Amino acid sequence: MVAPELAERETRSIMILQRRNDIPPGNYGLLEFYCPAPACDCRRVMLNVAEERHPARFLAAISYGFDRDDLEAGPFLDPLNEQSRYAPALLKLVSEVVLSDRRYLARLERHYHIVKKVTANPKHPAYQELQEAIGSEPEASLESRRAIDSGDNLRSPSAPPVGRNDPCPCGSGRKYKQCCGRR
């Protein structure tokens, strides 16, 4: 984690008191993930939605680009990540309630720039962790997430996986394995 105190202070959550659009009651946190590659300027955030009682299980992975005139700006359910059956309803809720808040969007973009600064600063405490994330294989990350979810049938694939050597769906023009696949 790049800035734990900032994350604790600024993580957004949505509390649902009674079933809404098929989403069960609970407190849903929006966990931010940014591309750690220092040379990449994708200007995107991945908002992974997790319920407080099961924080390691992501129910939706929502891609959002800061450049609103980009064709792939979103928000949309990221086809590279598995989505739960609640994902479409969570996308709608997050879009309406959270991504309509200009102050929150400015905060996300500020967080993006913080991560990019850290990826270029070897003296930062999180630098080594980010370098390891860049060097890790996407398949290993996916397998570890699947292990967390084993036995729970909440997720189902939303799209076929992207091949390592395919162009990255974020539109950077780089291969998936050298761009968003490094997360």
How many other CB atoms are found less than 10 A from the CB of residue 27? 13
Quick: pLDDT tens for 9-18. 778 899 999 9
Provide the residue range defining the domain that includes 112. Answer: 4-182
Name the phi and psi angles at 67, rounded to 5.
Answer: -85, 95
Parallel, antiparallel or unpaired: strands 54-65 and 76-77:
antiparallel
pLDDT(143) > 60: no
pTM: 0.69
Enter the DSSP assignment of 3. -
Q: So what's the pLDDT on residue 142?
A: 41
Q: So what's the pLDDT on residue 172?
A: 63
Helix (H, G, I), strand (E, B) or coil at 109: helix
To the nearest whole number, what is the mean pLDDT of the chain? 78
Q: So what's the pLDDT on residue 181?
A: 67
User: Residue 124: pLDDT band by 50, 70, 90 thresholds?
Assistant: low
When divided into structural domains, the chain yields a total of 1
pLDDT(136) > 60: no
Burial of residue 87, with CB atoms counted within 10 A of its CB: 0-12 exposed, 13-18 middle, 19 or more buried: buried
* Across 92-117, average pLDDT: 91
pLDDT(105) > 60: yes
Quick: pLDDT tens for 53-94. 998 899 999 999 999 888 889 999 999 899 999 999 999 999
Parallel, antiparallel or unpaired: strands 155-156 and 26-33:
unpaired
Sheet holding 54-65, edge to edge: 12-16, 26-33, 44-51, 54-65, 76-77
